[in-house]
Amino acid sequence: MAQAPEGGKACPGRACPALCWQQPSIKMGVMLSSPVELTRVQRGGSGGLRCAVGEMQGWRTNHEDAHAFCCEGGDGVFWVLDGHGGEEASRFCAPRLKQRSHKLLQEASPGQLPADADFSQMFTDVDQGFRERCMEVPDEQSGSTVIGAVIRKQQDGTYSLKLLNCGDSRAVVVSSPSNEEASRTKVQSRQPECGVESVWPCLLETIDHKPNALGEKARIEAAGGMVTMDDPPRLDGNLAVSRGLGDFEYKSAQSKPPGDQKVSCIPEIYEVTGLPEGSICILACDGLWDVASNAKVSEMVHDQLKQNPKSDLGVMAAQLIRKALQENSRDNITVMIIQMQSGLEWAQQSTRFNPSDEMMFFDKLGDSNTLDDDLKKQYNSFLRMCDFPQQPVQCSESGRWYSSMWKCPKTGKIYCNRHNQKKGWAKQQRKEQESSAQ
């Protein structure tokens, strides 16, 4: 299990792991009159992994988060990015991180994860690619934090993973609800010096990169920058995070390598081995962590899966997002939950019935009196970004709204999966039989 550094103190700017839901910090940014509550949920799986991610725009006038993931057999790569100053950095970098990390994992020796140096070079290359893009299109200047997980299943049935943290998004690794003894005794971890001791069932947690953290502050000052002790502390009086992709105005020291700039694009890397089947990894942007502690989130996910191992990870991600909104989170919110066990039920969906992409909490779309003109535009913009129609297309049985729906050619009713189609068809047959018997 993760060990605390000497003295047992967390890094500056870090919430106490023992806290539950907590008061959010005040952040800069233009807010809407009411939050965009639409929540998109995507699901995916393979023979050894299952994953779901939920995202909500919330109170912000723009949705600047992005994510990407890929599951293949027992291998998987998972990324959550939290943009600032625009969505361009997160949208540009997310698919490239997925592609590059998947390639590195394929090229690694059997049973091995890619080397830390390869991941650092990957971040440098993706950052440089975005710099070149911004030189061509200056209006796309922006920045993004990154939190990622690269996972591989081993021959003995356990899992190994590396967490890659660059900024103040965060990851937690959570004990297997079905194999807690192995989680306590067999899991081994490697983490940076500033690591903290985790609260059960959390096995490992990443540390946020804030400008006032000891190592971060020293690097910033050595690069000619300064840290103002505001609330929160800021780099050069502006940026409240000290690592990330983009933000090239803080990467102008030509004599210094990428890792020594005021804003570093080099991730800190954590490694965990010996994770038993059923173990969990949660990635989320600070829209969640601003109002929730690692311990509380870990406990909620762990306990729900212990009570019901078949719980829908997508619904769980949406519930965490909803809870964060209720606790007054004012940021975009993205939550990704990965469980290290078979996810074939999500990998083998047909083209016609595919619940991998769902829109939740869309009830306000049907009430024209609820949304003012500006808010309607924000809802429509979010739907366009997610490639959903402007009006809900609900399943006749479940009321759910997926990106792929099916219309029965005989009844004209809309269904979201085979189970509901069969239920609807059975009702139709009974109705026809009753009608003919009269």
pLDDT at residue 436, as a whole number:
76
pLDDT of residue 195: 64
323: nearest Cα among 313, 308, 333: 333
Which is more confidently placed, 201 or 231? 201
Residue of 387, 394, 366, 365 whose CA lies nearest to 377: 365
Single-letter code of the amino acid located at 280: I
At residue 414, the 3 state secondary structure works out as strand
Which residues are registered as beta bridge partners of 404? 354
Mean pLDDT taken over the chain: 89
pLDDT of residue 406: 84
Least confident of 155-159, 354-358, 390-394: 354-358
d(CA 324, CA 178): 27
Q: Say what the pLDDT of residue 428 is.
A: 78
What confidence tier does 353 reach under pLDDT thresholds 50, 70, 90?
Answer: low
Task: Please name every residue paired with 106 in a beta bridge, in sequence order, or none if there are none.
Answer: none
Instruction: Give CA 99 to chain center in angstroms.
Output: 17
Phi then psi for 50, rounded to 5 degrees? -135, 150
CATH code for the domain defined by 32-355: 3.60.40.10
Give the integer Cα–Cα distance in Å for 386 and 169: 22
* pLDDT tens, residue by residue, 406-424: 888 878 899 888 788 888 8
Give the containing element (helix H, strand E) for 228: strand 227-228
* Structure token pair of residue 274: 């010996």
Per-residue pLDDT, 158: 97
Pair type for strands 245-246 and 143-153: antiparallel
Averaged pLDDT for residues 27-47: 87
Partners of residue 163 on adjacent β-strands: 149, 270
Q: Are 177 and 310 in contact (CB under 8 A)?
A: no
Q: In the prediction, which pLDDT does 348 show?
A: 62
Angle of the 294-307 helix axis to the 313-326 helix axis, nearest 10: 140
Instruction: Record the tokens describing residue 32, joined without a space.
Output: 């809407």
**Percent share of the chain, pLDDT over 90:** 73
For residue 192, the model assigns a pLDDT of 81
Q: Give me 89's structure tokens.
A: 């950095």
Q: Compute the half-sphere exposure of residue 430: CA atoms within 13 Å on the CB side of its CA.
A: 6
Q: Is the pLDDT of residue 352 over 60?
A: no
Residue (of 161, 203, 208) closest to 302 by Cα position: 203
Least confident segment among 153-162, 298-307, 384-393? 384-393
Span of 15-29, 257-271, 321-335 with lowest mean pLDDT: 15-29
Question: Cβ distance 291 to 22 under 8 Å?
Answer: yes
| Residue of 207, 182, 88, 190 whose CA lies nearest to 144 | 88
Strand, helix or coil for residue 315: helix
Buried b (16+ CB within 10 A) or exposed e, 274-285: bbbbbbbbbbbb
Map out the domains of the chain as residue ranges.
32-355, 360-437
Whether 25 contacts 290, CB under 8 Å: yes
* pLDDT tens per residue, range 128-179: 999 999 999 999 999 999 999 999 999 999 999 999 999 999 999 999 999 9
Instruction: Quickly state the pLDDT bin for 354 (edges 50, 70, 90).
Output: low
pLDDT greater at residue 278 or residue 183: 278
Number of C-beta neighbours around residue 85 at 10 A: 16
pTM of the model: 0.90
Q: Is 277 helix (H, G, I), strand (E, B) or coil?
A: coil
- Count how many Cα atoms sit within 13 Å of the Cα of residue 172 in the half-sphere of its side chain: 29
What own/partner pairs with CB < 8 Å and gap ≥ 24 does 106-112 have?
106/75, 108/152, 111/152, 111/154, 111/155, 111/160, 112/152
pLDDT 10s digits, 221-276: 999 999 999 888 999 999 999 999 999 999 999 999 999 999 999 999 999 999 99
Kindly state the DSSP code that residue 251 receives in the 8-state scheme. -
Radius of gyration of the chain (CA): 23
* pLDDT greater than 60 at residue 400: yes
Residue 385 clears pLDDT 60, i.e. is over it: yes
pLDDT at 18: 34
Q: What DSSP designation does 347 have?
A: H
The DSSP annotation for 33-100 comes to EEEEEEEEEEEEE-SS-EEEEEEEEEEESS--EEEEEEEETTEEEEEEEEEESSSHHHHHHHHHHHHH
Q: In 3D, which of 353, 280, 346, 284 has the Cα closest to residue 319?
A: 284
User: Which has more confidence, 40 or 189?
Assistant: 40
Question: How big is the CA angle at 146 (ends 17 and 385), to the nearest 5 degrees?
Answer: 115
Predicted confidence band of residue 14 (pLDDT cuts 50, 70, 90):
very low
